Amino acid sequence: MGRPRGFDRERVLDHVVDLFWRHGYDGTSVEAIRHATGIGPSSLYAAFGDKRTLFFEAVDRYRARVVDKALDGLEQDRGDGLAAIRAFFTRVVDGIIAGERRWGCLMTNCAVERAPWDEAAAEAARAHLLRVRAAFAGALARGATGADETQITAVASMLTAVLQGLNVMARAGFGRAPIQAAVDAAIASAEGAAMLPVARRMPAAIAS
């Protein structure tokens, strides 16, 4: 039998998630990870491998700890999808103002910082964004009365883009007013698009 580890792996990963989330990949040194976790270098490398491997394990932990919980209300079929979208963005804004999301989103930060140079990071970021878009599309489909699949996908893409913008604004230190204004405009647009029949969104010459 191997020697048992003297630490809680998930607790350690939570510390590492917070480091990468707050400081980014390049801004998080192995020494900082060792200091935050209290694990010696040999144990750290034996348990998690190198820094890049640890980063992707932290990304997986972030998905389980943060993303799954955040998207639950959108992904579960629980009645009014538009209400679920409003509730989702309310939680996002409140989290930013309360400081819980002041570092933005680890997946957004990954896309900005790592994706241009690291194909695995780019793939992880794309998968995350596709999941978010699918969650919005599912919620819109539950709340739409006149939109078709193409329009639902377009609105879901818009909401995904707005969410990523909010994450960047949070990291840049914006306050509630501009963040809430962006959310209000996005939700109003989504609600209008979801409720209008297809013909009313087309120019008269095309609709006819």
pLDDT of residue 3: 40
Mean pLDDT of 154-179: 95
| Residue bearing the bigger pLDDT, 193 or 154 | 154
pLDDT of residue 205: 39
pLDDT of residue 195: 61
Residue 26 per-residue DSSP state: T
Q: Is 61 within 8 Å of 17 (Cβ atoms)? A: yes
Question: Taking the model in full, what pTM does it have?
Answer: 0.86
Exposed e or buried b per residue across 21-35, where buried means at least 16 C-beta atoms within 10 angstroms of its C-beta = beebbeebeeeebee
| Side chain identity, residue 195 | M
Q: Is the pLDDT of residue 202 over 60?
A: no
pLDDT of residue 194: 64
